[in-house]
Amino acid sequence: MARILLVHTGGTLGMAGRRPEALRPAAFFRTLRRRAPELFELAEVDLELFSNLDSAEMQPELWSRLAALLYRRLPRYDGAVVTHGTDTLAYTASALSFLLPGLPKPVVLTGSQRPLGEIRSDARLNLVDSVICALRGPPEVTVCFDSHLYRGNRVRKVKVAEYDAFDSPNFPPLGVLGVEARFEPGLRPARRFRLLERLEPSVFVLKVFPGLEPSLARALLPGIKGLVVEAYGSGNFPVSPRLGRPLRPLFREARERGIPVVVVSEANRNGVDLALYESGAAALAEGAIGGGDMTPAAAVVKLMHALAYFRGRAEVRAYLEKNVAGEHS
Ligand code: ASP
């Protein structure tokens, strides 16, 4: 029988509580054996408790530990399922995709909108589907949710209270689990399987909005090593000195301080094209890196990873612009 490792990190899936009480992490494995016994018919499933946290508590140090655990354990399994809260699932999925290059087996992240112990929970189906994806899906880091399998570093949480919580706006699903489960081939693990677990967390994400005070944004720079700018549309932001809040000096000062700046779009679909408008061109002239159609979550994690492994500006840029794990088109 095939062997699957199921690593629990926490999230609503494993929580309990009735309103007006808040949902809190609970004894997940006991509920799992009671509510989803069929999992153990699909494969020999070993359970491993990594943590039992609301995913708002996830931090880069935990991504590194989770990647190291998967790296050590995977040789003995056919695939792994990681249960996770939906709030930061897109970050963890992105992180694992960069920290585990050359992954030879499926690592499937899943969660749910309602706890497994509740009657109308989506957790049971997500768990069963995830085990199927870990057995038959492509060898990469994926997210299985609401009968779909997505590339992990492409997902965004788009809904808070409906079962189709995730979308992958710039990359088609890698699997659809209808009456039949169908999968795409996914990434080909050409490189040697490695663990690159280091991350430099001193990164900031700055969202551009009308009224953003450039001096406040510039005040961030002494405390950070990398910056992700979530700009409008194709990578736009104000540049007019006449209208009082130009952001070009932010890009200039970042360049002078040797801080890489990656520009991504606040729009879900498509990506930035810095050469299209005046502001993007100004950012390019100040050395900014276009993030293409990467999600903001993938961009921030990739920048943390680049800063941990590369010293030179050119190397950081090359890593950010390269398609490392299918994260941009
Ligand atoms: N707050 C929860 C978490 O991310 C939400 C969820 O799991 O759906 O852990």
Q: Are residues 136 and 210 in the same domain?
A: no
Mutation probe of ligand 1 site: the residue of 54, 159, 160, 166 with most atoms within 8 A of C-beta: 54
Q: Whose Cα sits closest to atom 8 in ligand 1? A: 86
Top mutation candidate among 55, 83, 121, 159 for ligand 1, by most atoms within 8 Å of CB: 55
134 has pLDDT over 80: yes
Same domain, 241 and 306: yes
**Gap between the terminal Cα atoms of the chain:** 37
Q: Are residues 240 and 161 both part of a single domain? A: no
Mean of pLDDT values over 30-49 = 96
Q: What is the CATH number of the domain that holds 18?
A: 3.40.50.1170
Q: What is the tally of structural domains in the chain? A: 2
Judgement on whether residues 61 and 169 belong to the same structural domain of the protein: yes
For a ligand 1 pocket test, name from 8, 86, 122, 157 the mutation site with the most ligand atoms within 8 angstroms of its C-beta: 86
CATH number of the domain encompassing residue 237: 3.40.50.40
> Is position 97 within any domain?
yes
Whether residue 26 has pLDDT greater than 90:
no
Residue tagged active-site, from 9, 12, 88, 110: 12
| Minimal-distance CA residue to ligand 1 atom 3 | 85
| Residue 211 falls inside a structural domain | yes
Structural domain harbouring 252: 203-321
User: Domain boundary at 153, 183, 213, which?
Assistant: 183
Ligand 1: residues with CB < 6 A are 10-12, 54-56, 85-87, 111, 113
Q: pLDDT (tens digit, 9 = 90+) per residue, 60-114?
A: 999 999 999 999 999 999 999 999 999 999 999 999 999 999 999 999 999 999 9
User: What integer pLDDT is reported at residue 280 of this predicted model?
Assistant: 95
Same-domain status, 137 and 224: no
115 found inside a domain:
yes
What was the pLDDT predicted at 191?
81
More confident residue, 24 or 91: 91
Output the average pLDDT for the chain.
96
Q: What is the pLDDT of residues 222-263, one digit of tens each?
A: 999 999 999 999 999 999 999 999 999 999 999 999 999 999
Contacts of residue 181, defined as CB under 8 A and 6 or more positions apart, other chains included, come to 129, 132, 133, 136, 175
Token couple for 171: 């990359």
Query: Model confidence over 182-216: pLDDT tens digits?
Result: 999 999 877 899 999 999 999 999 999 999 999 99
**What local confidence, expressed as pLDDT, does residue 93 receive?**
99
Active site residue 157: yes
The residue type of 213 is E
Residue, of 286 and 21, whose pLDDT is higher: 286
Query: Is residue 188, in this structure, part of any structural domain at all?
Result: no
pLDDT for 115: 96
Answer for the pair 170, 326: CB distance below 8 angstroms, yes or no.
no
Residue 242 structure tokens: 């006449």
Q: Do 219 and 287 share a structural domain?
A: yes
Residues 80 and 208 in one domain: no
Q: 198 in a domain, yes or no?
A: no
Residue 193 forms part of a structural domain: no
Amino acid letter, 69: L
Cα 11 to averaged position of ligand 1 atoms, centre (Å): 4
| 141 and 207 fall within a common domain | no
pLDDT value at residue 66: 98
- 113 Cα–ligand 1 center, Å: 7
Residues 220 and 271 in one domain: yes
Final residue of a structural domain among 151, 183, 215 = 183
17 has a pLDDT exceeding 90: no
Determine the Cα–Cα distance for residues 143 and 126; give it in Å rounded to an integer. 10
In a domain, 295, yes or no: yes
Last residue of a domain, one of 183, 213, 234: 183
E strand map for the chain: 3-10, 15-16, 24-25, 44-53, 79-83, 107-110, 141-145, 148-151, 156-157, 166-167, 175-177, 181-183, 203-207, 226-231, 261-265, 289-290
Q: Same domain, yes or no, for 275 and 174?
A: no
Residues 100 and 48 in one domain: yes
On whether residue 28 sits in a domain, the answer given is yes
144/213 same-domain check? no
